[in-house]
Amino acid sequence: MSRLLIVSNRLPVNVDKRRGQLHFRRTVGGLATAVASYHDGGDSLWIGWAEVPAGRLDAAEKEHIRDRLLDEHHAQPVFLTADDIQHYYHGFSNKALWPLFHHFTQYAQFDPGFWATYERVNRKFRDAVLEVAEPGDTIWVHDYQLMLLPGMLRDRLPEASIGFFLHIPFPVFEIFRMLPWRAELLEGVLGSDLVGFHTYDYVRYFLASCRRILGAEDQFGRIAFRDRIVNADAFPIGIDFTRYAKAPLESRVRREAERVSRQTGQRKLVLSVDRLDYTKGIPDRLRAFDSLLERHPEWRNKVNLVCVAVPSRTRVEHYRALKRQVDELVGYINGRWATMDWTPVRYLYRSLPFHSLVGLYAAADVAMVTPLRDGMNLVAKEYVAASAEDGLGVLVLSEMAGAAKELGEALIINPNDRDATVEALNAALTMPEDEQRARNEAMHRRLRRYDVQRWAEDFLQSLRVTKRLQDEYDEKLLSAERRQALTDSYARAPKRLLVLDYDGTLMGIAARPENVRPDPELLQLLERLADDKKNDVAIVSGRERSTLEEWLGQLPVRLAAEHGAWLRSREGEWVTSGPLTNAWKERVRPLLEMFTDRTPGSFIEEKDFSLVWHFRKAHPDMAGTRVSELKETLVGMTGEMGLGLLEGKKVLEVKNQGVNKGQAAHRWMERAEPQFILAMGDDRTDEDLFEAAPEWAWTIRVGRGPSRAAYSLSSVDDARMLLWELAAEGDREPAEGLVRS
Ligand code: ADQ
């Protein structure tokens, strides 16, 4: 049976060694809960770091840990040395990736020693996975500590189903590009089949980096990379809603909430809960609270802030500095405002057990979740869920947290805007109960529906769909068997038609379109094919006829220029495909000029019967937006003027309606009645060609992606190789019967 292998930096069990004794403690975290139903069902295995440094364990202890984790927790430990932990975890993960991905560039350290260990430790995780992986297993890798792992696994297990989920934000391209090892990290992640993020913004940033750093283009989140399709999508992590919604009814939690309420008395209670991390905006939050007391004197002695901070990464200098800063701020605010019977800020620097934490959620009138940047933020969701019974409580939420995308009914603020934060806090403290209930109910519905279980199911289901999609593409790849059938069929046919697209099919795509003159090898290949009396060779292109004439004119082949607006016979005579007009250009040109002025790097090409807007050299994001705008503007005009829009690779072409490569090819097919037809192309303009071909024709798309073509080949080199094989076959004697595809 196929299993789920979960791989994360930490295991859901903490292993510790104190006074010579091993201790095992189950940890309850979002991720552990998320996959618990798969995991506890026994058909999964969790692979992660055992936490206690390997140097402190002897062989027998390691064996004991292994056995116990496997028997009791379906877990497999990865043992790391103190040096590994120092450089991979505290180093590269938390001093380079964490700050950079949260846009704290000033804290990021790019240390080659950290990087070398990060690579080495990712390999250790790879070996641990390889040790247990079986065919059919699904491997789900988690988070920024293991970004190289999917690629390392793909090299060894080309067929495996691999998913990767990033729990922290993905940064914008301008920041991600700062990392010296940016390409390696992207390549590592792209070793998976499905890459998940919390929000669509992070997906977009990731796609932009793939495009600009690796040149890997995407179509609706499907990235074509190294002969594979990798899907990227948003899966906002949820919480165990019922657990938090029902907890306030438990007696332990109720007692805790009552105790807190008693201590607060008539005052309002504002809650702040996070790991002590500079991304969480704790100092800004404290300053906003201070400003509230200053600007709204009516709240003095009427409100308490409970600030819970869980110690975190205490070995990293920036965290120690933050700790000092928070200590000082709390002291400052209390010193400034406290009275004999009122201490405005209560500060708890520790982790809390579940019942105390939820007791606080239940008792708090307002929760301030105001990170400067946060992948999702589960505290926001947990706080809202804990109000499911009475519907009371107001969430003030930073727009920089992924959770803000789902919790639109919270009071959303920019945490850098102190005034707005203060006013939101004041509004939260004075919000009528009816309004609180109405806002919370809407959020409850959403959180209940998309809970953590749904999140995990959704991700794994999407992974299966991606895998199926890849299989479909794989099935289309021209197998050795089909290739043989194709060449046999070619050899036997007395009359053949070969319709070949030029750019992207016979020649690779270049940044400058003028740089793709045919090379001697291609000319030789085409000549050899065209010299065969049984062959009718046609080259179809969107290029102008003068270019085709100059580059290929000497060959005895048919040519179709401007996507079939101009047709040339083998003898060299050019005709237009029908009565074509040009009057429309005067209306369309000014519009294209306006878009060109607004889009640096783009330019207009004028052909005899079309106008083309090129944007290959424009900024991809800007070009993307402009193309949609331009299409929208043009669609209205084209209908009324009998024009068609053609989208190619980084070009948008306006031309006479009905002119396309398919229509051109159709004529030749009808006239010559060949017994063998081969149509090859690579982009959207070639889809017309595939559609025009009869069902039995051999239609081949060069490159992967959705296509009407029956088959695909992975590259231009492959396409040429096939044509060379055909050229060689041409000399074979015709045999009995015809084989068609
Ligand atoms: P974190 O940065 O750890 O997670 P968060 O999402 O808020 O941040 O999760 C914190 C968890 O710790 C919550 O479940 C909360 O209940 C618990 N917790 C907080 N304070 C506590 C305390 N004092 N005592 C006990 N428990 C406490 C990373 C990303 C997030 C992303 C998650 C999940 O940084 O953006 O939401 O992963 O993907």
Distance 438 CA to ligand 1 centre (A): 26
Nearest CA among 274, 304, 455, 257 for reference residue 379: 274
Distance 307 CA to ligand 1 centre (A): 15
How many CB atoms neighbour CB 192 within 10 A? 29
Query: Backbone dihedral region of 199: left (phi > 0), alpha (psi from -120 to 50 degrees) or beta?
Result: beta
Q: What is the pLDDT of residue 645?
A: 86
Distance 333 CA to ligand 1 centre (A): 26
- Cα angle 175-181-182, degrees, rounded to a multiple of 5: 45
| 198: its two tokens | 């919390």
Angle, nearest 10°, between helix axes 282-295 and 418-429?
A: 70
Nearest CA among 143, 121, 111 for reference residue 50: 121
589 in Cβ contact with 597 (< 8 Å): no
Q: Is 738 helix (H, G, I), strand (E, B) or coil?
A: coil
What atom of ligand 1 comes closest to residue 348's alpha carbon? 23
Instruction: Tell me if 34 CB under 6 Å of ligand 1.
Output: no
CA-to-CA distance for 86 and 683, rounded, in angstroms? Answer: 49
What atom of ligand 1 comes closest to residue 310's alpha carbon? 23
Q: What is the pLDDT of residue 439?
A: 97
- Angstrom CA distances, 416 to 141, 155, 290, 373, 419, stand at 34, 44, 15, 11, 9
Contacts of 402 (CB under 8 A, 6+ apart): 169, 198, 199, 202, 236, 374, 375, 376, 377
Instruction: Tell me if 379 CB under 6 Å of ligand 1.
Output: yes
289 in Cβ contact with 333 (< 8 Å): yes
**DSSP summary character for residue 342:** B
587 in Cβ contact with 637 (< 8 Å): yes
Can you say whether the dihedral through the CA atoms of 244, 436, 438, 405 is positive or negative? negative
What atom of ligand 1 comes closest to residue 401's alpha carbon? 35
Q: What is the pLDDT of residue 737?
A: 47
Q: Using DSSP bridges, classify how beta strands 610-614 and 651-656 pair: parallel, antiparallel or unpaired.
A: antiparallel
Distance 494 CA to ligand 1 centre (A): 72
Instruction: Tell me if 351 CB under 6 Å of ligand 1.
Output: yes
Tokens 């590269």 found at: 92
Nearest CA among 370, 301, 287 for reference residue 333: 287
497 in Cβ contact with 674 (< 8 Å): yes
230 in Cβ contact with 192 (< 8 Å): yes
CA-to-CA distance for 651 and 687, rounded, in angstroms? Answer: 16
498 in Cβ contact with 678 (< 8 Å): yes
174 in Cβ contact with 152 (< 8 Å): no
Contacts of 120 (CB under 8 A, 6+ apart): 84, 88
How many CB atoms neighbour CB 130 within 10 A? 12
Contacts of 657 (CB under 8 A, 6+ apart): 638, 642, 643, 644
Full-model pTM:
0.80
Can you say whether the dihedral through the CA atoms of 224, 228, 229, 230 is positive or negative? negative
300 in Cβ contact with 306 (< 8 Å): no
What Rg, from alpha-carbon coordinates, does the chain have? 32
Mind giving me the DSSP string for 574-622? EEESS----TTHHHHHHHHHHHHHHSTT-EEEE-SSEEEEE-TTS-HHH
Complete edge-to-edge strand list for the sheet that includes strand 603-606: 603-606, 610-614, 651-656, 643-648
Supply the residue whose CA is at minimum distance from atom 21 of ligand 1.
351
Tokens 């993905």 found at: 170
Q: What is the pLDDT of residue 738?
A: 47
CA-to-CA distance for 605 and 613, rounded, in angstroms? Answer: 6
- Cα angle 345-348-353, degrees, rounded to a multiple of 5: 135
Q: What is the residue type of 343?
A: T
Distance 378 CA to ligand 1 centre (A): 6
How many CB atoms neighbour CB 540 within 10 A? 31
Instruction: Tell me if 310 CB under 6 Å of ligand 1.
Output: yes
Residue 383 buriedness (CB in 10 A; 0-12 / 13-18 / 19+): buried
Instruction: Tell me if 30 CB under 6 Å of ligand 1.
Output: yes
Instruction: Tell me if 382 CB under 6 Å of ligand 1.
Output: yes
Q: What is the pLDDT of residue 733?
A: 55
501 catalytically annotated: yes
Taking the chain (741 residues) in runs of 10, the rounded mean pLDDT of each run is 89 89 80 68 86 90 94 94 95 97 97 98 98 95 98 96 98 97 98 97 95 85 86 94 95 94 93 96 98 98 96 88 97 97 96 94 97 96 96 97 96 98 98 97 95 92 92 85 94 95 90 82 96 95 94 96 93 88 88 89 90 86 80 78 82 87 88 91 90 94 86 93 92 52 49
Mutation pick for ligand 1 pocket among 28, 140, 275, 355 (CB with most ligand atoms within 8 Å): 275
139 in Cβ contact with 129 (< 8 Å): yes
Q: Is 492 helix (H, G, I), strand (E, B) or coil?
A: helix
Mind giving me the DSSP string for 374-442? BSS-HHHHHHHHTTTTT---EEEEETTBGGGGT-TTSEEE-TT-HHHHHHHHHHHHT--HHHHHHHHHH
Nearest CA among 330, 315, 323, 329 for reference residue 276: 323
Helices (H) and strands (E) in the chain, counts: 27, 29
Distance 274 CA to ligand 1 centre (A): 7
Instruction: Tell me if 374 CB under 6 Å of ligand 1.
Output: yes
133 in Cβ contact with 7 (< 8 Å): no
Supply the residue whose CA is at minimum distance from atom 20 of ligand 1.
274
Q: Where are the alpha helices (DSSP H) in 210-353?
A: 241-246, 251-264, 282-295, 317-337
- 266-297 core/surface letters (b: 16 or more CB in 10 A; e: else): ebbbbbbbbbbbbbbbbebbbbbbbbbbeebe
**Catalytic hit among 274, 365, 451, 501:** 501
What atom of ligand 1 comes closest to residue 237's alpha carbon? 38
